[in-house]
Amino acid sequence: MKPQNKFQAQVLEASKTLPLITIAQAKWAYQNCFEHFGVRTKKGNITCLECGYAWNSKNTLVIERICGCTCPNCRMKLKIKETRKRVFNDSQYFCIITTCKGFQVLRYLYVKYYAKIGQKVNYFHSEVTQRWLAPDGRNAIVSKLQTVSYFGENWSLSSKLEIRQKRLYHNITPKCVYPRHRLIPELKRNGYDGNFHDLTPFDLFHALLSENKAETLLKSGQTKLLYHLSVRDFQNIDNYWASIKICIRNGYQIKSPCEWCDYIDLLRFFGKDLNNAKYVCPKNLKTEHDLYVKKKQKWQELQKKEEAKNKALALEEWYKEKKSRFFGIHFTDGLLQVRLLESVAEIVHEGEVLRHCVFANDYHLKPDTLIFSAYIGEKKIETVEFSLSKLKVLQSRGFCNKNTKHHDKIIKLVESNILLIKQRLAA
C-alpha cells in the first residue's frame, strides 16, 4: 500500500535504512524461542534433535526424566521426550527493539524450525512486521502481507515490507525479546525499565508515549492497573483518575484492577466521596466490593418491584372496566369478613401485607378471576382466588402462602355466597 500521508512516507523511507538481522540475533532467537528436545526410546537411546547425534543412557534414566540432559556432541541442554514421533516443527515470533532516525522501532521476526530424527535441525526466520512509533505516540505499520486460506492465516513471505493498514494480527505477542534494546530518550524518561508488565511491547510503548497517565501509573508501581487500562485503550480513565491519585498518595496498591474499578463505579452510584481514602483504599477490597454489589442488587430488586407496581397501576382503568360489576360484594359470618378487592392498588397492598404472589403473578389480569380478601377486624387473614367460569374457589392463601386455622371456614363462607356472585355475573 502506498503511504497515505507525510508521516507514513517518512516511516517507509526510514524502514529502508534499517540494517539486516545479524547472525548473532538470529542464533539468539533460535536458542531462546524454542524448547530443545532429546527423543528417548524404550531401549534408552537418546537422539538430539539439534544436531542428530544419538547415544545410549540407560544408567541415567531417572535423572534425565527430571532434569533433562546435555548433548555430548553439540552441548545443547535438552529436555527429554519419550515418543515414537520422528518429525517435529514449530513456529514463534521474536522481537528486536531498536531505534531509527528518531523513531522507536519494534521488528518482529517469524521464526520456524524443522527437525527429524537423525538429522540436523533446520531453522528459518523472516522479518514480517515493523511497528514504528514517534515520540508523540503516532505510529505506523510496515509489514508483509498475510493471506487467508483453508488452513488459516499465513504470511506471504515473498511479499515486500510496505505500509499496511492496522490488522489484529499486527499486534504480536513475541515468544522472546532480544535482550539488547535501543530506546529513544522519551521512553527512558517515561519510566520504561525493561519490564513489559504482561503487555505486548507495542502496547506498553504506545501507552507511555501517547498517554501521560500511563507514565504516572508505571512510575508509581501501579503496573496491574496500567495493564488493565492499557488493554482498554485508557477508555473512561478520567472516571477513576481522581481516586487513583488518592491511592498513589496513600501508597495503596491496586492489586485487582477490574474489581477495584467496579467498586469505584458502585461508590459513585451510591453517591460516596471518591476523594476519600476511607472509601477508595479499602483494607479488604473483595469484602467491600461484594457488600456494595449486594446493596445494588437489593436496590435493583426494589426498582423492578416499583416499576412493576407502576405498570400495574396504569391498568387501573382496565381493571375497573372488567370487574366493576362485581364491586361492592361483601359477606360475613359474624367473625370472618370477605370482600372483593376493587383496585389494583388494593391487590398490591394485599400482596405486600401477606407476602405472597397475588400481585407479582398478575392474578388481577385474569379476566376469569375475582380476588377477595378475608379478614377479621382490621387484620388480613387470607386472599381468595375465585373462578367465574367454574364458580368455585381455586385457592386461598395466608401469610407466605400458608393456610391459616380459618382456611376451611373462609372457603365455606365464599362458596355459600356464590348466588350473590351469580347475580352480578348475569347483570
Q: Is residue 205 part of a domain?
A: no
What's the confidence (pLDDT) of residue 63?
A: 58
Shared domain for 21 and 147, answered yes or no, is yes
Q: Is residue 395 part of a domain?
A: yes
Which of 291, 325, 354 is the endpoint of a domain? 291
Q: Is residue 30 part of a domain?
A: yes
Round to whole Å and give the CA distance between 22 and 290.
Answer: 55
What's the confidence (pLDDT) of residue 233?
A: 85
What's the confidence (pLDDT) of residue 152?
A: 54
Shared domain for 250 and 330, answered yes or no, is no
Shared domain for 12 and 47, answered yes or no, is yes
What's the confidence (pLDDT) of residue 265?
A: 94
- Report yes or no: 417 and 374 within 8 Å, Cβ to Cβ: no
| CA pseudo-torsion sign 402, 407, 408, 410 | negative
What's the confidence (pLDDT) of residue 322?
A: 85
- Strands (DSSP E) contained in 137-227 are 139-143, 146-149, 152-155, 162-163, 176-177
- Report yes or no: 387 and 394 within 8 Å, Cβ to Cβ: yes
What's the confidence (pLDDT) of residue 153?
A: 60
Regions in the chain scoring below 70 on pLDDT: 58-66, 148-153, 427
Q: Is residue 74 part of a domain?
A: yes
Shared domain for 279 and 330, answered yes or no, is no
Residues sharing a CB contact under 8 Å with residue 53, sequence separation 6 or more, in sequence order: 47, 71, 72, 73, 74
* Partners of 395 in the β-ladder: 385
Q: What CATH number is given to the structural domain containing 368?
A: 3.40.630
Shared domain for 270 and 338, answered yes or no, is no
How many Å separate Cα 325 from the centre of its chain?
A: 56
Q: Is residue 25 part of a domain?
A: yes
User: Amino acid identity, residue 347?
Assistant: I
Query: What one-character-per-residue DSSP string does 85-134 give?
Result: --EEEEEEEEEEEEEETTEEEEEEEEEEEEEETTS--EEEEEEEEEEEE-
Shared domain for 249 and 370, answered yes or no, is no
What's the confidence (pLDDT) of residue 81?
A: 86
What the block records as the C-alpha cell of 116 is 527429524
What's the confidence (pLDDT) of residue 154?
A: 85
Round to whole Å and give the CA distance between 317 and 68.
Answer: 84
Shared domain for 163 and 219, answered yes or no, is no
Round to whole Å and give the CA distance between 398 and 403.
Answer: 5
* Partners of 386 in the β-ladder: 370, 393
User: How many domains does one find in the chain?
Assistant: 3
What radius of gyration do the chain's Cα atoms show?
A: 38
Query: What one-character-per-residue DSSP string does 259-276 give?
Result: HHHHHHHHHHHTT--TT-
Its pTM stands at 0.73
Q: Is residue 189 part of a domain?
A: no
- Report yes or no: 422 and 413 within 8 Å, Cβ to Cβ: no
Lateral strand order in the sheet of 103-116:
162-163, 139-143, 122-133, 103-116, 87-100, 176-177
Shared domain for 50 and 146, answered yes or no, is yes
- Report yes or no: 182 and 99 within 8 Å, Cβ to Cβ: yes
* Partners of 125 in the β-ladder: 111
Q: Is residue 72 part of a domain?
A: yes
- Put residue 413 in one of left, alpha, beta given phi > 0 → left and psi -120 to 50 → alpha: alpha
User: Amino acid identity, residue 379?
Assistant: K
Shared domain for 167 and 32, answered yes or no, is yes
For residue 275, what are the domain limits?
211-291
Q: Is residue 65 part of a domain?
A: yes
Which of 275, 291, 307 is the endpoint of a domain? 291
Shared domain for 11 and 48, answered yes or no, is yes
Report the SS3 class of residue 359.
Answer: coil
Q: What is the DSSP letter of 273?
A: -
Q: For the segment 35-69, what is each residue's pLDDT rounded down to a tens digit?
A: 898 888 888 888 999 999 988 876 656 556 667 78
Q: What is the DSSP letter of 255?
A: S
Round to whole Å and give the CA distance between 395 and 4.
Answer: 77
